[in-house]
Amino acid sequence: MELLRSNLSRVRIPEPTNRIYKHECCVSFETPRSEGGLFVDMTTFLAFGKDYVDWNYEKTGNPVYLHIKQTRKVVPEDRPSKKPTLLAIGVEGGFDNNEPQYEETHNIVILPDYVTFPFPSVELPEKVRLAVDAIIMAEGAERKEQLAAWTADKKQVSAYAMNLPQIDNGVIVPPSGWKCAKCDKKDNLWLNLTDGMILCGRKNFDGTGGNNHAIAHYKETSYPLAVKLGTITADLEAADVFSYPEDDSVVDPLLAQHLAFFGIDFSALQKTEMTTAERELDQNTNFDWNRIQESGQDSELIHGPGYTGLANLGNSCYMAATMQVVFSTRSFNSRYYTNQSLKMAFEMAPADPTVDLNMQLTKLAHGMLSGKYSVPAPEKDDDENAAISTTNKQEGIPPRMFKAVIAASHPEFSSMRQQDALEFFLHFLDQVERVNGGSSALDPSRSFKFGIEERILCPSGKVGFNKRLDYILSLNIPLHEATNKEELEAFHKLKAEKISEGKDVSSDEIVRPRVPLAACLANYSAPEEIQDYYSTALKAKTTALKTAGLTSFPDYLVLHMRKFVLEEGWVPKKLDVYIDVPDIIDISYMRSKGLQPGEELLPDGVPEAEVESNNPVANEDIVAQLVSMGFNHLHCQKAAINTSNAGVEEAMNWLLAHMDDPDIDVPVSQGAHGNEVDQSKVDTLLSFGFQEEISRKALKASGGDIEKATDWIFNNPDASVSSDMDTSTSSSKPTPDDTELPDGRGRYGLFGIVSHMGTSTHCGHYVAHVLKDGRWVIFNDNKVAASINPPKDMGYLYFFERLDN
């Protein structure tokens, strides 16, 4: 006891603001249920597994630890069985999955000799007792972060609910027998809470759903809120209320009052319709879900090094699928596993290793690649007294700390919502590049980076070049290049006949276009006309031809299939198409050739109009389209100007993100300040390898924020040569770091696929297929199994490895 008393100065009583880790080791995936339990440092409140706590003692000298060990609890046989509960989508709670119960024991341990004192004990110093009690009673930091993310995703009260105007036009909504006022749809109906109009919802990508009459009505009237008929019951919290200007499901605290205005007695209604979230879940299940997940097939479950699943943290499959493919590359494998031990990363980490990306990437790599956690999970036996058996399925490791670090600077990825795997991949590589300080020797993200050169041919015969660096090749899908046109024509004829007969087309009768990947690549390289291009040779606007090629071939080439487009009315649509992807591709023909003998560069210069005035001017076409959606005209002008007139989608995204800006209603200045950017920030982006023109445009679009500007550049790969661009980069010199990029032949082999199921990249599910040890393997969150039929024609992201032999 004297030894403990002599170290009381190293014991802290945690404050409410302290982050206390007690559920997972900060350098491994050990938990209190692991064989050695967890050791919580009573000075820093960081947790360490049995094999790693000595490292912390050597680094910090902190000797006093709270040891936490959980063992499975034996429950009497006459324990009452739990009734299954329903899945609650979008609300608090969930379902009881009958998790086994655990018994927790605590001891005070003093290093380095592991002198142990039992807890609780009245003989312990009061300070120690208070500290341990506070640690045990506190919510763990891991749990706090998860709860914060879930809370952030709860439906918000609509800003339009409390002062919603309602028009007394005599409309009384009957309790049943509803029909769209503009078509014959009798389901997926929405009641506008301002004028009582009943209209059908949005049309889904597969033709089901409504006819977009409800959203069209909003665009005509700007009446903001609608409730889905069929979801209204005595439990008004379950009703599906949608806010069009907020573009989200919301809470209407006055819903009962708003419904009563139209004579609706909500207490007499029974739920007959699925909510939007439930319908999304149903659609996602129906669209080739089984094929991508290879459900119903007798797949061999795999365990061992490199075959560790990732537990789903709640809509985190986009991250899990991406990381499984990324850590299958030699560059990331060697950087964070083969060439960097956990101890090395811990010694280099700051005082709190949970916030260090290098440490958490190393922890994740060792967790995924070592095979230590790729073991069959214990079965949750109904008979708690029976011996604990095991199942071949593994539990997977939960990448909580990694997610917290990688998402710290990104509000969307830090939420519990589903995200776009492509956006996450680009964000991830950007963060890896930053943490490695741009060192080509250390930075594994460089294995994905390549140069793109866009060649612009002016009618004068002179040429200009624009260069940029990228991590992905984003490909449009030319549906007119489908190889099964005869089958498609026959299908459309059959579909028309069935519709005329009032019948539905069965799923096994559906024929989808099949487009070769070669056609997508050829479409990328094909000449493209640029209207209103200002030629410095002709000193006038003209039509130029743009072609694009690669200045280098990366070690790993990522192809992004643009399956998500915006149809008329700006409704997102997913292309229902198959891509025929071969195992080996050769893109040698896509290498750019630069300035050729006999060609002359366009002279340097700027348009006369730019010399005369630098005033920001909004593109009226963009403004008009935004105004037609119900947005304020001044706000639309600002959105167009601040996104450099890049397009309606970019302006709308800016507008939605800046609606609450304090200066949003300040008139547009006629001065030149709108086009001014901080030259030091431009220089910073230039040091990243970006072109000056695109750097300035990105800074304008992001309000001068360097990080947002970088994201803007990655998310707008075509922005550097937009139709309103009046200047060209005449120099054919390489961009910074262009010559240092990995390069080789243009022959590649397919090794990874990230597939998506669902109506949008922000809903549904992501799955990865990876070619490992000569066979395809499916990584579906914590499920790891041999793939029987990998969906090579259904990928969203395709990963290729350069073949130099």
Strands 225-228 and 189-192: antiparallel
Q: Which residues pair with 235 in a beta bridge?
A: none
Cα–Cα distance for residue pair 31/47, rounded to 1 Å: 9
- The question of whether 317 is a catalytic residue gets the answer yes
Question: Which of 26, 200, 317, 636 is labelled catalytic?
Answer: 317
Strands 473-475 and 556-561: parallel
Q: What is the radius of gyration, based on Cα positions, of the chain?
A: 30
Cα–Cα distance for residue pair 603/459, rounded to 1 Å: 14
Asked if 242 and 225 touch (Cβ cutoff 8 Å), the reply is yes
Q: Which two tokens stand for residue 85?
A: 């509960």
Asked if 24 and 30 touch (Cβ cutoff 8 Å), the reply is yes
Cα–Cα distance for residue pair 252/240, rounded to 1 Å: 10
Angle between helices 317-326 and 421-435 (to 10 degrees): 50
Q: Which two tokens stand for residue 503?
A: 């019948």
Q: Identify the CA nearest to 68 among candidates 36, 106, 26.
A: 106
Cα–Cα distance for residue pair 141/19, rounded to 1 Å: 5
Cα–Cα distance for residue pair 751/768, rounded to 1 Å: 11
Cα–Cα distance for residue pair 376/302, rounded to 1 Å: 9
Q: Is residue 682 within a helix (H) or strand (E), and if so which, with residue range? A: helix 679-687
Residue-by-residue DSSP string for 363-415: HHHHHHHS-TT-SPPBP--S-TTSPP-B-SS---B--HHHHHHHTTT-TTTTS
Instruction: Please list, in sequence order, all residues whose beta carbon lies within 8 angstroms of the beta carbon of residue 545, skipping any fewer than 6 positions away.
Output: 456, 457, 527, 528, 529, 530
Cis peptide bond upstream of 478, omega within 30: no
Measured in residues, the chain has a length of 805
Burial class (CB within 10 angstroms; exposed 0-12, middle 13-18, buried 19+) of 505: middle
CA 428 to chain centre: 10
Burial class (CB within 10 angstroms; exposed 0-12, middle 13-18, buried 19+) of 605: middle
Residues identified as active-site: 317, 765
